[in-house]
Amino acid sequence: MRIVTGTLGVALMAIGAVLLLAGGQAVDVALWLAGAIVLHDGLVAPLVLAVGLLLASVPARGTVRGALVVAGSLTVIALPPMLRPGAPANASALPLDYVRNWLILMGAVVVLTGVLRGGVLLVRRVSRRRVAER
């Protein structure tokens, strides 16, 4: 199974490389990838590390750092359409309200982080009761 999956992955990468080179967008993709690396290593990773240091004494620091990684990743993905100036020539190119959708996603991250943390605390409380009852 591993050989089949690996072979399929290599075949799909080859198809992607052929399509990329045939489309004449190799330079644009390389610039985008370089920008993504710079943005991650220069902004997202240091911010997550700095917040992690600030949260070192908080009991929920792992959950909060995980939420920050998710929020940072979603923000990096959402930034290009949110910062795109003006209306596109083709109305169907960027038809959504990206700022509103990003805010909804950030709210979902906050709510799910709270639910996750509450679930962790509940499991710990129940397990402590069971140990105390024995």
Summarize pLDDT for 44-66 with one digit per residue, the tens.
788 878 887 888 787 777 888 88
CA distance 121 to 129: 12
How wide is the angle at C-alpha 18 spanned by C-alphas 14 and 23, nearest 5°? Answer: 150
Question: 134 or 77: whose pLDDT is higher?
Answer: 77
pTM (2 decimals)? 0.61
Q: List phi, psi (to 5°) of 57.
A: -95, -5
CA distance 30 to 33: 5
End-to-end CA gap in the chain: 46
Whether the per-residue pLDDT at 88 is higher than 80: the answer is: no
Asked whether 77 and 112 are in contact (CB, 8 A), the reply is: no
